[in-house]
Amino acid sequence: MWRSMRERLSRRMNITWFSLVVSLFTTIVFHAPLMRAVVEGDASWLIIASFVLLLIVVNFLVTTLLLYLGRMVGRVLMAILMIGNAMSLYFINTYEVLLTRQMMGNVFNTRYSEASAYIGLDATLYFLLLGVLPALYILLRKVDYGTLRRFAFSVVASLVAIVGVGAANMNSVLWIDRHATTIGSLVLPWSYIVNSIRQYNYVCMLNRKPILLPDATVTNTERDVVVLVIGESARSANFSLYGYGRDTNPLLAADSVMALKARASATYTTEGVKAILSHKPVKEYYEALPDYLARAGVDVVWRTSNWGEPTLHNVARYEGVKDLVTTYPEAKGDYDEILLCGLSDIIEEAACAKQLIVLHTSTSHGPEYDKRYPKEFRRFVPACNSVEVSKADRAELVNAYDNTILYTDYLVHTVIEALRACEGVRATMIYVSDHGESLGEDNLYMHGMPLDMAPREQVDIPFIVWTSDDAEVREDMTTVGHYHVFHSILYRLAVDSPVYDASLNIFKHGE
Ligand SMILES: [Zn+2]
């Protein structure tokens, strides 16, 4: 039997058949999530049939073009794409993600230590069975490339079919327009190729020098310090301060903090952090709050255990976990409390009267919630410690997530304690999350849904404020957002700026 199979494999396969086999494999195996999305999007039978036909024809055409024109180079390229498709499918199926530009940004920004958190048995199986195996077939199968005439016939026939499908769907334009983001993010490999290029352009844009804001001035010499704690993937629904049934905020509950209702203006880190540090929603790259204040003479400290921050140009003291572990070897470097080391000293040794300290945390970052807190915070048990969240027991997943909120409660409370202990300083603490998180509601996990489609779990975020002088929050601040941070901090540091927008300052003006 083996011999006959070997003989058959050693015979050359006609390029048309080979392209058809590859195309059918790609369509059936890698586009099940796309077809599911099309069907769930209430598409008509015409649209569903058109998608199937289009996928087969386009994949056939591309395979034929790559093989005939590229020969071995074409095969290597196809083999690489096969592996790319397999891994993309794993992420789509496991985390229900859409491979949008933003998601590709998340992928490129993920450090190895984080990436390894995603790799379990399933990922390995996807990689080997759906990636490596078909890649080997593509590389090794002998193919009869045929004549130029047959090649031309295949290309023309495919193009005619594509035009025909397009013409039949003239009336589907509205449907396609409405579902463009979802569809575009599920067509493999185009989703990750096109969106990677778009992300690359976006990053190039971000690395440009920012547009400077008009100069700001510090208007008095009183000692003011603001600590801005940026949360990661924290959703307000799981904070007892926001009415959650479990006591996840035992410490903050006794701290007389104000918990404002808030909505994120993004569902992923880079855009969420950008919004927190921006004076208004802008597409262009404007000077971020830390740079702006540093230029105005404010002492700015940035500490981070996270990523996705805009490039900061003026902040003299920028410390990542590695720097902090070197400075504070006795601290627990694995958890976010390392960001709090020596906080009182920093405030005491401030270079000037006004000070902004930003702590960019990563406490509720999935999928391994259980690894984000020391074991004494594993209070809700059993806590899920699997990387494959979609297979995890939901209750256990929520337990692990709630423990991260419990740990956040401890971190923010510790910041407030440190501020309370500082004498002669008027202090403000603002804790705000970059976006929320899905924990299996509607079968969604993590975050990153396009904002207009995002469920409230990914959008409703905590916005917690504490001040040493019991400053009051305005009554009309019923729902706030990321852009309130910039103006409220300007106000509390007594910084005067032409871009200051009083309507976005959450605090009541003093007499
Ligand atoms: Zn984030």
Closest of 142, 159, 132 to residue 18, by C-alpha: 142
Cα of 345 vs centre of ligand 1, distance in Å, is 29
DSSP SS3 for 461: strand
| Per-residue model confidence (pLDDT) at position 401 | 97
Lowest mean per-residue pLDDT among 107-116, 122-131, 158-167, 438-447: 107-116
Give residue 70's pLDDT band: very low, low, confident or very high (50, 70, 90).
confident
Q: What's the pTM value of the predicted model, to 2 decimals?
A: 0.72
How do residues 138-181 score in pLDDT, each as one tens digit? Answer: 999 988 888 999 999 999 999 999 999 988 887 777 777 778 88
| Residue ranges of domains in the chain, CATH in brackets | 2-206 (no CATH), 226-504 (3.40.720.10)
Query: Nearest-CA neighbor of 183 among 98, 88, 85?
Result: 98
The side-by-side arrangement of strands in the sheet containing 224-231 is 317-320, 299-304, 354-360, 224-231, 426-433, 460-467, 258-263, 480-481
Ligand 1 centroid distance, CA of 230 (Å): 9
Q: What is the mean pLDDT of residues 357-372?
A: 93
Q: How far is the CA of 308 from the centre of ligand 1 (A)?
A: 8
Question: What pLDDT was estimated at residue 511?
Answer: 43
| pLDDT at residue 17 in the model | 93
**Residue 357, pLDDT score:** 98
Q: Which two tokens stand for residue 51?
A: 């998608």
pLDDT in tens, 324-344: 999 999 988 899 999 999 999
Distance 486 CA to ligand 1 centre (A): 19
Q: State the distance from the centre of ligand 1 to the C-alpha of 435, rounded, in angstroms.
A: 6
Separation of CA 431 and ligand 1 centre (Å) = 14
Residue 270 CA to ligand 1 center (angstroms) comes to: 7
CB 225 within 8 A of CB 422: yes
Pair 62, 75: CB distance under 8 Å: no
The Cα 276–Cα 263 span in angstroms is 12
- Per-residue pLDDT of 213-238, as tens digits, reads 999 999 999 999 999 999 999 999 99
**Two structure tokens written together for 14:** 């006609």
Mean pLDDT of 26-53: 89
Q: Rounded to whole angstroms, how far apart are CA atoms 213 and 323?
A: 30
For 148-207, the DSSP string reads: HHHHHHHHHHHHHHHHHHHHHTGGGHHHHHHTHHHHHHHSTTHHHHHHHHHHHHHHHHHT
Residues 6+ apart with CB under 8 A from 452: none
> Measured in angstroms, how far is the CA atom of residue 401 from the centroid of ligand 1?
14
In this predicted structure, what is the pLDDT of residue 189?
86
Q: Where are the alpha helices (DSSP H) in 296-393?
A: 321-327, 343-348
Instruction: List strand residue ranges (DSSP E) for 203-290, in order.
Output: 217-218, 224-231, 258-263
Q: Find the range with the poorest average confidence among 90-104, 293-307, 394-408, 480-494.
A: 90-104
Cβ burial 367-388 (10 Å sphere, 16+ → b, else e):
bbbbebbeeebbbbeebbebbb
| Per-residue model confidence (pLDDT) at position 115 | 65
Ligand 1 centroid to Cα of residue 465, in Å, is: 20
Distance (angstroms) between ligand 1 centre and the Cα of 353 equals: 32
pLDDT over threshold 70, residue 124: yes
* Range with the poorest average pLDDT among 50-64, 74-88, 94-108, 138-152: 94-108
State what percent of residues in the chain have pLDDT above 90: 65
CA of 233 to the centre of ligand 1 (A): 5
Question: Coil, strand or helix: which one is 106?
Answer: helix
Task: Outline where DSSP puts E strands in 324-425.
Answer: 354-360
List the one residue out of 270, 218, 289 whose CA is nearest residue 105.
Answer: 270
